[in-house]
């Protein structure tokens, strides 16, 4: 902003005005025009000039300047809800007006009007208050910017305009206020840059201009502010590096620059400012290590916030020398090593958060620091979740501070039982043990945590019953103990948790009836999940009490009976999952009254009757699955029923009409009914004759081919296919236009794949016709059916049905019918002119890993795929990846599923595809989960380099893993697939490059003329490191799929967050 030199607005002298009507003041020039008063005014002027000496006249003139400036300020105020300015009138001297303070000589020295919600603009006439030292107008609603005339206030020491929607830039003229000590304009909507001239304000002690929209760098000139004690610019869009000139801030106490776009390494000189008490660097793009001697160079440190950056290396043990430390926040970086054991020497430590790093080595000593923390009697928050901490929780947790209210060790590698000593932590408010390997029972003493509001223990190996003492937790609002091995019934005492808004006990082995007491908890609002257990009986009528719940999941149980009509009370319900039970009766009409419903799944039950027409009027519905029931009658055609991709009605052969894309038959009319009755006798006769002839023919054919089939083969096939409903050869022939070339979409070693629409299924399908003359094809059929018949996962291709029949020539015909994946295979996307963005590749990587994790660790029997490669990864309409082609899959022996070296499987000769199969398979080693992990690692490498493992460049002992490993971490640009940086218009994509990308700093990288962001580079390095770790030569050194899913999900989420709207952590807390 240009420095505009403005002349002070000086009104005419006091004796030129009528003193009893200040608002109507007129200059002398106007009055002189009234000629009939000219003689009188001349006499009045002479009298006043003789009566008052010249100095007195000047003083009165200056006082009037202040008065006029205040009146102009009042005039610019358009709204005064508290009437604070009503005293500003001629009945009082302006020095007595509210908010005004004057000197003994009646000059205004301060204007303080704080928190009156005044609206209007700041009058430039305030620039005439030449003796003012303090202007404090915070917590109002002034707009229109800061007047440049404020630069005339040469005596100004304090300017506080915080929390006003002023807008505009910081006037450069303010730097003329050379005596200014305290400048606070936070949360004022300021834009533009911090003026370089700010370094001229050599008396400044406080700068607080956070929570604005300031851009550009931190000026190097701040190094001239030797008296500066507080520098707070958090929550802006500042860029560049912290200038080295901060080394001259010898008086600095608080340095707060969190939540900006600053980058680079933090100057070492900043860590040498021994007067520093608060250092907040959170949510920027800082990299590098924390100095090893930070505790010695910053001995007075109280708060250290360095979260959400790219810091690496260990947490320095020298922190323990900063004995005044209260708050340490370093979460969401890449810190490694052990947490220092000496933290217990910090007697004032209140908060310690180092979550989402790489701390620990999965060893027994990783948690020894907990013992030291028992000396921190002030400790309230301990967060070390999402790391690599191993071992077991030490008994010394019993000695942690009774004030501890947040304890998070989630998503680590901690094993063993939950220690007894935790019962001493009676102050716990939030307790997270989720996603570890805890075993044993849930301690009953948890019921003594009277302040507990959140308890998370999902994803462990806990067993036994749910303790009834949890019902004593009167403040509990979130309880998640899903995905364990808990047994028994849900204790009735949970009905006493009147504050509960989320209850999740899914994926356990719970039995008995659904507890009516839980359904009486009207406080449940986020969700109730009782799915994937062994509950029996009917859904209690008390379900209607859940009037505020948004998600209810009772699926995958053994529930019977009808859905109670009281379900219509769910006015807030968005998700209702009741699939895979034995529920019967009609679909309740009350479901149509749930106007907030988005997802409804009643599939795989025994519902009968018609579809309530009112469901088509639920405008919010996005997903409806009523498949595989006994529904009949007309299908509605509006609303969700017009959305073919979101409606699933297969397996209900008595349904009719609906939109044409669903391919249901027409409903019979009354006129046709009489004709049908007349033809019934003829039809029965024809059916009897045809059936008899068909029976004899089929019997003959069966006898003819019986000699060509072994008894074992028949039994195996029946077992594998008994789960599916059979489709006839005629149906498939019709669906594929006689297996025409137009319907052919691919072929493989064991079969040919066609697309088509089968009337019984309604939606487009993929039909895999097996080459029955190849003996391996039959084994492939059995392997695929055995693997897929009892599993269902969003990232696995599902078999819909099958066909085992004779073709027109009387030859054996076998086919499997799958969901059609409209976006084809990953192979087609990686090696064609189409492109996948980085975000899409990350999503696909997580999807495939999730599917394998389910096969390896979450199925009743461990399943290994044995042939993972890009052509076997299919993409649905939303670009969600599904693992397919289980033709080589093997179900491992349950008793040996935990040990890759001792697993047994019934194997055939083929063990995967060259380039993707692990090296140990070539040496006769048994199939294992580790083999799939190797294939997954190669798949990852191919996804992000664009190179097949069979590329000609990989020879002479060099493979794709060695090729990538040699470039980590600094030379990866040379091997990345450039097509992932071409903007994609496909689903689930987000751009990561651009010449003006928001997050690009001075460390941006160039790929073929485009800028690769630092966040993308870090993400790719992390992904490739995982890929290399998965594809190592020794099986025991490969990662587990559960760990792959966890790490890849975190990498993806951090990257997506870095390219989205920035989160808003507290810059004072880090």
Q: Is 510 helix (H, G, I), strand (E, B) or coil?
A: strand
Angle at 253 between CA 247 and CA 255, to 5 degrees: 70
d(CA 842, CA 1052): 6
d(C-alpha 404, C-alpha 1064), whole Å: 25
Whose CA is closest to 888, among 927, 847, 930? 927
Catalytic member of 432, 847, 867, 1018: 867
The set of residues, in sequence order, having a beta carbon less than 8 Å from that of 913 and lying 6+ positions away, is 867, 869
Residue 867 annotated to the active site = yes
1034 to 920, 928, 934, 1027: CA distances (angstroms): 8, 13, 10, 14
Tokens of 881: 């990846």
* DSSP β-ladder status, 415-417 and 606-609: unpaired
Sheet order of strands, 606-609 included: 536-537, 558-561, 582-586, 606-609, 630-635, 654-657
Give the count of beta carbons closer than 10 Å to the beta carbon of residue 7.
7
Q: What would the two tokens of residue 1048 be?
A: 């890849």
Q: Which helix (H) or strand (E) holds 286?
A: strand 285-289
Residues in CB range of 260: below 8 A, 6 or more apart: 233, 234, 235, 236, 237, 238, 239, 283, 284
Residue 472 phi, psi (nearest 5)? -80, -10
Residue (of 729, 727, 755) closest to 740 by Cα position: 755
3-state SS, residue 296: helix
Using a CB cutoff of 8 Å and minimum separation of 24, what contacts does 200-205 make? 200/175, 200/224, 201/175, 201/177, 201/225, 202/178, 202/226, 202/227, 203/157, 203/178, 203/179, 203/227, 204/180, 204/228, 205/181, 205/229, 205/230, 205/251
Count the neighbouring beta carbons within 10 Å of the beta carbon of residue 775. 11
- The C-alpha atoms of residue 976 and residue 965 are separated, in whole angstroms, by 13
- Is-contact 170 146, C-beta < 8 A? yes
Q: Side by side, which strands form the sheet with 812-819?
A: 744-747, 751-757, 764-770, 812-819, 799-806
Confirm or deny that 768 is annotated as ligand binding.
Answer: yes
- How far are the Cα atoms of 49, 648, 757, 1032 from residue 761, in angstroms, in the given order? 106, 9, 7, 44
Is 525:548 a contact under the CB 8 Å cutoff? yes
Give the closest residue to 819 by CA, choosing from 846, 795, 783: 795
Q: What letters, b where the CB count within 10 A reaches 16 and e where it falls short, cover 363-379? A: eeebbebbbbbbbbeeb
Those residues whose C-beta lies under 8 Å from the C-beta of residue 700, and which sit 6 or more positions away, are: none
Q: Measured at the alpha carbon of residue 912, what is the angle toward residues 906 and 918, in degrees to the nearest 5?
A: 100
Phi, psi of 999 (to 5 degrees): -95, 5
Angle of helix 838-853 relative to helix 929-945, nearest 10 degrees, comes to: 170
Distance between CA atoms of residues 93 and 117, nearest Å = 24
Tell me which residues are annotated as active site.
Answer: 867
Residues annotated as binding site?
A: 768
Residues annotated as binding site for ATP?
A: 768
């Amino acid at each position: 902003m240009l420095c505009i030199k403005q002349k002070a607005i000086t009104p005419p002298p006091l004796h030129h005005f009528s003193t009893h009507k200040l608002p109507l003041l007129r200059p002398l020039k106007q009055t002189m025009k009234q000629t009939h008063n000219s003689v009188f005014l001349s006499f009045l002027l002479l009298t006043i000039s003789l009566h008052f000496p010249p100095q007195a006249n000047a003083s009165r003139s200056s006082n009037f300047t202040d008065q006029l400036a205040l009146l102009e300020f009042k005039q610019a105020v358009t709204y005064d809800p508290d009437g604070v300015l009503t005293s500003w009138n001629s009945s009082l001297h302006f020095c007595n007006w509210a908010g005004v303070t004057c000197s003994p000589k009646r000059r205004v020295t301060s204007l303080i009007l704080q928190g009156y919600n005044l609206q209007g603009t700041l009058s430039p006439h305030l620039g005439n208050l030449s003796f003012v030292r303090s202007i404090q107008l915070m917590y109002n609603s002034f707009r229109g910017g800061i007047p440049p005339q404020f630069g005339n206030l040469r005596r100004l020491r304090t300017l506080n305009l915080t929390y006003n929607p002023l807008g505009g830039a910081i006037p450069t003229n303010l730097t003329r206020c050379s005596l200014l000590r305290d400048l606070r304009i936070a949360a004022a909507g300021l834009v533009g840059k911090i003026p370089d001239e700010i370094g001229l304000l050599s008396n400044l002690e406080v700068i607080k201009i956070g929570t604005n929209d300031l851009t550009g760098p931190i000026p190097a000139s701040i190094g001239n502010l030797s008296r500066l004690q507080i520098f707070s610019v958090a929550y802006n869009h500042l860029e560049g590096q912290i200038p080295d000139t901060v080394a001259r801030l010898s008086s600095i106490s608080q340095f707060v620059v969190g939540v900006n776009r600053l980058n680079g390494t933090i100057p070492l000189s900043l860590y040498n400012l021994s007067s520093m008490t608060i250092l907040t660097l959170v949510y920027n793009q800082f990299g590098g290590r924390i100095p090893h001697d930070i505790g010695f160079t910053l001995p007075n440190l109280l708060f250290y916030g360095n979260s959400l950056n790219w810091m690496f290396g260990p947490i320095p043990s020298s922190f323990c020398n900063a004995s005044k430390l209260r708050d340490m926040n370093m979460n969401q970086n890449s810190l490694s090593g052990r947490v220092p054991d000496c933290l217990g020497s910090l007697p004032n430590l209140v908060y310690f958060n180092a979550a989402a790093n790489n701390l620990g080595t999965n060893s027994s000593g990783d948690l020894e620091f907990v013992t030291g923390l028992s000396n921190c009697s002030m400790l309230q928050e301990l967060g070390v979740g999402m790391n690599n901490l191993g071992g077991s929780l030490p008994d010394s947790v019993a000695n942690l501070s009774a004030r501890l209210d947040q304890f998070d060790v989630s998503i680590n590698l901690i094993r063993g039982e939950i220690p007894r000593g935790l019962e001493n932590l009676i102050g716990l408010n939030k307790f997270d043990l989720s996603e570890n390997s805890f075993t044993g029972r849930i301690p009953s003493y948890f019921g003594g945590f009277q302040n507990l509001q959140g308890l998370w223990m999902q994803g462990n190996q806990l067993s036994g019953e749910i303790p009834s003492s949890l019902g004593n937790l009167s403040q509990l609002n979130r309880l998640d103990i899903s995905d364990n091995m808990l047994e028994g019934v849900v204790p009735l005492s949970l009905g006493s948790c009147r504050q509960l808004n989320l209850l999740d006990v899914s994926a356990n082995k719970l039995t008995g009836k659904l507890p009516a007491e839980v359904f009486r908890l009207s406080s449940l609002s986020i969700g109730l999940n009782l799915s994937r257990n062994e509950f029996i009986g009917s859904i209690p009528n008390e379900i209607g009490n859940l009037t505020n719940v948004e998600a209810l999941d009772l699926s995958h149980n053994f529930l019977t009976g009808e859905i109670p009509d009281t379900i219509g009370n769910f006015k807030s319900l968005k998700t209702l999952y009741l699939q895979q039970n034995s529920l019967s009766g009609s679909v309740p009409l009350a479901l149509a009254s749930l106007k907030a419903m988005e997802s409804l799944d009643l599939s795989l039950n025994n519902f009968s009757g018609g579809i309530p027409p009112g469901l088509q009027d639920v405008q919010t519905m996005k997903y409806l699955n009523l498949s595989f029931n006994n529904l009949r009658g007309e299908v509605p055609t509006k609303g969700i029923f017009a959305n073919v991709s979101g409606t699933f009605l297969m397996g209900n052969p008595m349904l009719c009409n609906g939109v044409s894309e669903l391919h249901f038959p027409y409903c019979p009319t009354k006129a046709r009914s009489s004709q049908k009755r007349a033809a019934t006798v003829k039809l029965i006769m024809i059916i009897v004759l045809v059936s008899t002839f068909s029976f004899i023919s089929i019997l003959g054919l069966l006898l003819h081919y019986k000699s060509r089939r072994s008894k074992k083969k028949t039994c195996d096939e029946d077992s594998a296919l008994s789960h599916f409903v059979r489709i006839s050869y005629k149906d498939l022939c019709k669906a594929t236009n006689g297996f025409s070339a137009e319907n052919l979409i691919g072929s493989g070693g064991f079969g040919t794949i066609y697309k088509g629409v089968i009337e019984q299924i309604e939606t487009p399908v993929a039909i895999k016709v097996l080459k029955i003359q190849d003996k391996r094809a039959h084994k492939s059929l059995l392997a695929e059916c055995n693997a897929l018949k009892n599993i269902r996962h969003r990232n696995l291709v599902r078999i819909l049905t099958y066909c085992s029949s004779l073709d027109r020539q009387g030859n054996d015909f076998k086919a499997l019918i799958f969901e059609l994946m409209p976006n084809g295979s990953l192979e087609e996307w990686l090696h064609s002119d189409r492109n996948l963005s980085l975000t899409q590749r990350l999503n696909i990587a997580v999807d495939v890993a999730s599917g394998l994790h389910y096969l390896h660790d979450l199925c009743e029997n461990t399943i290994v795929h044995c042939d993972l490669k890009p052509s076997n990864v299919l993409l649905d309409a939303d670009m969600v990846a599904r693992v397919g082609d289980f033709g080589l899959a093997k179900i491992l022996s349950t008793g040996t599923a935990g040990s890759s070296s001792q697993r047994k499987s019934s194997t055939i000769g083929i063990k995967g595809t060259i380039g993707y199969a692990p090296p140990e398979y070539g040496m006769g080693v048994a199939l294992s989960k580790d083999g799939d992990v190797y294939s997954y690692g190669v798949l990852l490498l191919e996804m992000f380099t664009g190179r097949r493992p069979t590329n000609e460049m990989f020879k002479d002992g060099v493979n794709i893993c060695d090729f990538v490993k040699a470039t980590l971490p600094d030379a990866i640009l040379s091997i990345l697939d450039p097509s992932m940086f071409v903007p994609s218009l496909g689903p689930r994509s987000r751009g990561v490059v651009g010449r003006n990308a928001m997050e690009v700093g001075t460390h941006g990288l160039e790929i073929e003329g485009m800028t690769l962001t630092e966040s993308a580079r870090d993400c790719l390095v992390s992904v490739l490191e995982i890929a290399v770790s998965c594809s190592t030569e020794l099986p025991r050194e490969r990662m587990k799929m559960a760990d792959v899913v966890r790490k890849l999900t975190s990498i993806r989420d951090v990257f997506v967050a870095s390219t989205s709207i920035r989160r808003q952590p507290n810059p004072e807390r880090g």
